[in-house]
Structure 1
């Protein structure tokens, strides 16, 4: 489906006023589709409903409106005829046909539920059966295109990078069709990753998640009899133990970055435990100097799609829990007021040359250009290297923050809220090493009753 068409989904949703089709066997299939759209509201998520609505109103109903087929008498031949029409007249691609097929199947499943028909005729139809068997690699590309507008850009970029750069190059030489892919083919690929590419078990697990999701769609649309990815052995997940800085190491780091452009990122990462996307996305309207608070509510992320860097701005944090308000401590407030004065001075000095696109953002350079996420990662690594400090990732400052909080008596529940984790299990899973001190305390408590 063309991107320009998808942009109108919300408008179509708002304008749509369903007809009141009769829920009987004599209702035309086109009319029944309209009723189904009305009844399915609230039973599926908004994005899925918008997609159903767009496909049904613009492609499926216009075709069946010109036929006298009732919902009770629609047959597999009628549905196959529609797909043949789309292939020949509109040159519709496989991914779109699969999408239309899912809509028709769901609508007719509802007709079965209402006892208007006994069996779902769409269950016996393969929307692309009239064509040469699709290659596994081609299917993966079509699946990527299909989900492109149904998931977050950051999620799509992750899928695309994995599948286009890693999965497809491996499977391309085998020329396997989608139906030919077996669990052994997938298992061999995982072993290739571990033994030849020398990637980590966690990387293989990430690739498995992508492959399984794509094949699950093929299984759900009956292109394959079962999901072969469900029958492989995944490598065991290796828990990552973050390298952290203690209070002395952080003190040395703060002294080194004092007055430098990277200082803001280091303070927000180490003291507040902010993610890189939250740091770059911080705006002046998130700072309340009167109430002495800062609110995390906007993020800026950089992703790569087909080799091109794309900046994704969101007026929301990573999860509902990521949207949080934290106290504005005096040293940080002082730094912010200093940065605000510098920005106002730079605007006057640069005049028309000052970038107006990112007005409102805190982390900008002298010309008003917003700092890129990659700048923080690269500059932080160079700072550590140039000053002989222990090598850690920038994200490990967030872990250092959690370690210091725990060492100072802050509970895991409070750390969860400070860092913006949606579930305390996330906090405990990442920071299980922090809980060891409490176990030592438990051991000391019970040692008193141990027989001497």
Structure 2
């Protein structure tokens, strides 16, 4: 039941209502709420009806003042127990950098759809992966609905704005190509052989010839390589945080895979294995894990950023077409497609859980091949 009454203020006569809100789950006693500041009795009645509807839907009076940050803490304290350390670190970074500064101090029940759209629009101007930010922020809203803290999810139907370059289909490739073609690969591997250590040359060779992720290669052990069968088992990845490292299983089942190796790659790996064994014999006092394929001098795994730095230095020094470390995976896919491999074969070799990821590379590569075909035709016909 609710009661309404008029009261006097310096601004004049206003209305309030008092309403029983049921049993407090923390104390086990009945509780009531008073809401003030309504200009008319009609406004007070409408506000009372709305509050009653929220209570009927399961929204308790105790939840009405929770901020987004409060709800985030509730959700993350549970969610963090179900994910890996690397994922936990990544999610925390996204919330601290992009989400909590914009939502944290606001009462979650008062966050509106227009404000959510404004936030997503702002983030889209800053980073390309805005959809991932939306997904993470939405987890908190979904949790709030699930726990009866709010009735509706204000972020659910927010639209991700398209970037200008996504709306332009002409000249889609050009500088956006994040892979190398055969002549570029040959030049790069010649450079790594001449200028880098044998260890680093072998790593870059494997990145191009296997399509493995850098974290997968840096977690590789000699037991994962079967020289007789000519195969490589990829089933874990290196994760580093605060100067510490650990090996963990990948996010998806498809990332665990057994891939075949060509004879050139096997020969190169045998050469590196012999070199590593000789080094271990020369320095018997070093306490290091001799089973890890690629390590620093002290036997600890290489920094994940090390390969990025080496690649960028060589690209700038030799004026190579700019690509990222991840672009070496695309390079491997490009070579496979050019050699006639099917989309399914490439998907399995790269460990893509979503075939759309493979299709995106396939579309890019085949479009490039079509452009080359047209150029060849023009050159042949001569006018």
* TM-score bucket (shorter structure): 0.7 to 0.9
Deviations 1:227-267 (A, max 9, x none): 00013222237779542111000000001111524212211
Match of 1:159 among 91, 112, 118: 91
| Residue in 2 that maps onto 1:415 | 346
1:397 is displaced (CA, Å) by 0.8
Counterpart in 1 of 2:120?
A: 190
Deviation of 1:431 after TM superposition, in Å, equals 2.6
Equivalent positions of 1:268-279 (< 5 A) are 268-279=206-217
Distance 1:142 1:221, change over 3 A: closer
The equivalent residue for 1:177 is 107
Partner of 2:321: 390
1:59-82 C-alpha deviation (Å, 9 max, x unpaired): xxxxxxxxxxxxxxxxx85xx54x
Q: How does 1:425-436 map to 2 (within 5 A)?
A: 425-436=356-367
Aligned partners of 1:176, 1:295: CA distance in 2, in Å? 49
In the TM superposition, what is the alpha-carbon distance from 1:312 to its structure 2 partner?
A: 4.2
Matched, 1:313 2:244: no
Contact 1:153/1:312, CA 8 A, preserved across alignment: no
Query: Which residue of the partner structure matches residue 379 of structure 2?
Result: none
Q: 1:168 to 1:406 in 2, by over 3 A?
A: same
Matching residue of 2:229 = 291
Q: Which residue of 1 aligns with 2:267?
A: 334
Cα distance change of structure 1 residues 371 and 84 upon mapping to structure 2, 3 Å threshold: farther
Structure 2: stretches of 5+ with no match in the other structure = 1-21, 29-54, 167-172, 375-383
Deviation digits for residues 167-221 of structure 1, max 9, x if unmatched? 222345xx42111111122112123234xxx324x32222111111111001111
CA shift at 1:350, angstroms?
2.6
Aligned pair count? 315
Contact persistence 2:334–2:361 (CA under 8 A)? no
Distance 1:373 1:122, change over 3 A: farther
Instruction: Pick closer, same or farther for the CA change 1:318–1:268 going to 2, 3 Å.
Output: farther
Structure 2 counterpart SS, 1:369: coil
Q: Residues 320 and 368 (structure 1 numbering): CA distance in 2 closer, same or farther, change over 3 Å?
A: same
Cα distance in 2 between the residues matched to 1:132 and 1:418: 51
Change (3 A) 1:242 1:388: closer
Q: Confirm or deny: 8 A CA contact 2:216 2:237 kept in the other structure.
A: yes
Quickly say closer, same or farther: Cα 1:369–1:253, change in 2 above 3 A: same
Unpaired stretches in structure 1, ≥5 consecutive residues: 1-75, 86-120, 444-452
1:372 corresponds, among 279, 303, 308, to: 303
Distance 1:163 1:266, change over 3 A: same
Match of 2:279 among 334, 341, 346: 346
**Per-residue CA distance 1:355-402 (angstroms, 9 max, x = gap):** 2xx442101123222112111112221122222222110110110111
SS of the residue 2:179 aligns to: coil
Q: Shift of residue 166 of structure 1?
A: 1.6
Which structure carries more strand by proportion?
A: 2
Q: Which runs of structure 1 show a deviation greater than 6 angstroms over 4 or more consecutive aligned residues?
A: 237-240, 437-440
Distance 2:27 2:56 in 1: 14
CA distance in 1, matches of 2:227, 2:86: 33
**Aligned residue number for residue 199 of structure 1:** 126
TM-score norm. by structure 2 comes to 0.73
Determine the C-alpha separation between the residues in 2 that align with 1:123 and 1:170.
Answer: 28
Measure the CA separation in 1 of the matches of 2:88 and 2:303. Answer: 20
CA distance in 2, matches of 1:277, 1:437: 29
Distance of 2:236 and 2:59 partners within structure 1? 46
Match of 1:89 in 2: none
Among candidates 108, 126, 135, match of residue 209 of structure 1: 135
Higher relative CO (Cα under 8 Å, sequence separation at least 6) belongs to: 2
- The 3-state SS of whatever aligns with 1:243 is coil
Indicate the SS of the match to 2:232: strand
